[in-house]
Structure 1
Amino acid sequence: MTHLGVIGGGGWLAGALLRPALADRVIRPADLVLSSRSGQISGFESWPRVHMTTDNAILVDASDVILFSVRPEDLDDIELDLRGRFVISVMAGVTVEEIGERYGARRIVRAMPNACAEQRLSFTPWFATDDVRPSETDFAQRFFAASGQAHLITSEQDLDYFTALTGSGAAFPALMADAMIRHAVESGIDPDTADLAVRQLFLGAATQMMRVAETPADIVELFMEYRGTTAAGLSAMMEANIEHAIFNGLTAARRKASQRRT
Structure 2
Amino acid sequence: MTTLGVIGGTGWLGGALLRPALAKGFVDPADLILSSRSGKTAGFEGWPGIRFVTDNVMLAAQSDIVILSVRPEDLDTLDLDLSGKLVISVMARVSAAALLARFKSRRIIRAMPNACAEQGLSFTPWLSTPDATDADADFADSFFACSGKTTRLSTESELDYFTALTGSGPAFIAAFADTMIRDAIENGVAPDIADAAVRQLFLGAGTWLAGASETPADTVRIFTEYGGTTAAGLTAMLSADIAGPISKGLAAAKDKAARG
Asked if structure 2 preserves the Cα contact closer than 8 Å seen for 1:9 and 1:41, the reply is: no
The CA distance in 2 between the partners of 1:258 and 1:75, in whole Å, is 16
Report the residue type matching 1:143 in the other structure.
Answer: F
> How far has the Cα of 1:104 moved from its partner?
0.8
Matched, 1:38 2:72: no
> How far has the Cα of 1:154 moved from its partner?
1.2
Partner residue of 1:117? Answer: 117
* Equivalent runs, 1:5-84 vs 2, <5 Å: 5-84=5-84
Report the residue type matching 1:151 in the other structure.
Answer: T
> How far has the Cα of 1:157 moved from its partner?
1.6
Partner residue of 1:102? Answer: 102
Partner of 1:87: helix, strand, or coil?
A: strand
> Which ranges in structure 2 are unaligned for 5 or more consecutive residues?
none
Report the residue type matching 1:15 in the other structure.
Answer: G
Aligned-residue Cα RMSD (Å) equals 1.0
1:181-209 deviations in Å (ceiling 9; x for gaps): 11111112222121111111111111111
> How far has the Cα of 1:109 moved from its partner?
0.4
> How far has the Cα of 1:89 moved from its partner?
0.3
> How far has the Cα of 1:158 moved from its partner?
0.8
Partner residue of 2:218? Answer: 218
- Count how many residue pairs are aligned between Structure 1 and Structure 2: 260
1:196-244 deviations in Å (ceiling 9; x for gaps): 1111111111111111111100000000011100000001101111111
* Equivalent runs, 1:1-262 vs 2, <5 Å: 1-260=1-260
Partner of 2:6: helix, strand, or coil?
A: strand
> How far has the Cα of 1:252 moved from its partner?
1.1
> How far has the Cα of 1:73 moved from its partner?
2.0
TM-score, with normalisation over the residues of structure 2? 0.98
1:145-164 deviations in Å (ceiling 9; x for gaps): 00111111111221111111
> Which ranges in structure 1 are unaligned for 5 or more consecutive residues?
none
Report the residue type matching 2:22 in the other structure.
Answer: L
1:74-96 deviations in Å (ceiling 9; x for gaps): 12121111111110000101111
The CA distance in 2 between the partners of 1:256 and 1:41, in whole Å, is 32
The CA distance in 2 between the partners of 1:121 and 1:132, in whole Å, is 26
Report the residue type matching 1:238 in the other structure.
Answer: L
Partner of 1:34: helix, strand, or coil?
A: strand
> How far has the Cα of 1:13 moved from its partner?
0.4
The CA distance in 2 between the partners of 1:253 and 1:83, in whole Å, is 32
> How far has the Cα of 1:38 moved from its partner?
2.2
TM-score, with normalisation over the residues of structure 1? 0.97
Asked if structure 1 preserves the Cα contact closer than 8 Å seen for 2:93 and 2:256, the reply is: no
Report the residue type matching 2:217 in the other structure.
Answer: A
